[in-house]
């Protein structure tokens, strides 16, 4: 069942706002139990978590394996080019082939379970970091209706902290993903 929201756009009864930016941590992700809807373009809706508080606390948990949780930092061709330019390295020096993931053809190399660019709890290629890192703890998926849907990883230590994220924040994430992944 649909209901109207203040912006005049529809939202699901569960409260969701609506491509999967594939996050491949082998853990459970949060169901979108509350959401709202927004428009990314004139004809496309995006669902996203309504009332979600989040801030990055610089824990670097998304940059390394954790007990019971292996990180696979997937790279798009644009990511590989950006990192290669920033580091003046060839792709094979910082990544390995990852052929089975749509839009992602390589995975970041790790050393002892950590991204090779992680220094302490900071990213040494922050300005050139991969899309998947810029997106974390969020992921993008297609809703059953074919629209975009943003979910989040509840294991992220920053979830529940900070300010409530705005519609504009989620629209920015969707636009970033569409631009980087060339999603129509």
Task: Give 37 or 18, the one with higher predicted confidence.
Answer: 37
Pairing of strands 138-142, 148-152: antiparallel
Q: Does 136 score more than 90 pLDDT?
A: yes
Question: Measured between alpha carbons, how far is 59 from 52 in angstroms, rounded to an integer?
Answer: 19
Please give the pLDDT value at position 43: 63
Q: What percent of the chain has pLDDT over 90?
A: 52
Question: Measured between alpha carbons, how far is 17 from 122 in angstroms, rounded to an integer?
Answer: 31
Task: Give 98 or 55, the one with higher predicted confidence.
Answer: 55
Tell me the pTM: 0.74
For 70, phi then psi, to 5°, come to -100, 130
User: Looking at the DSSP assignment, which residues form a beta bridge with residue 142?
Assistant: 148
Question: Measured between alpha carbons, how far is 169 from 160 in angstroms, rounded to an integer?
Answer: 16
Do residues 73 and 130 touch, judged by C-beta distance below 8 A? yes
Question: Measured between alpha carbons, how far is 36 from 46 in angstroms, rounded to an integer?
Answer: 8
């Amino acid at each position: 069942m649909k209901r109207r929201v203040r912006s005049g756009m529809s939202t699901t009864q569960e409260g969701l706002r609506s491509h999967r930016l594939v996050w491949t941590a082998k853990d459970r992700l949060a169901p979108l139990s509350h959401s709202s809807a927004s428009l990314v373009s004139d004809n496309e809706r995006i669902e996203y978590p309504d009332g979600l508080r989040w801030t990055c606390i610089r824990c670097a948990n998304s940059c390394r394996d954790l007990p019971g949780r292996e990180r696979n930092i997937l790279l798009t061709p644009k990511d590989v080019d950006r990192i290669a330019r920033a580091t003046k390295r060839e792709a094979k020096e910082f990544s390995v082939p990852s052929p089975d993931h749509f839009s992602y053809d390589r995975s970041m190399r790790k050393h002892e379970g950590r991204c090779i660019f992680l220094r302490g709890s900071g990213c040494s290629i922050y300005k050139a970091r991969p899309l998947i890192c810029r997106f974390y703890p969020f992921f993008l998926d297609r809703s059953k209706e074919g629209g975009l849907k943003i979910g989040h990883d509840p294991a992220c230590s920053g979830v529940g902290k900070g300010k409530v994220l705005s519609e504009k924040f989620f629209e920015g994430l969707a636009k970033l993903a569409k631009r980087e992944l060339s999603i129509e």
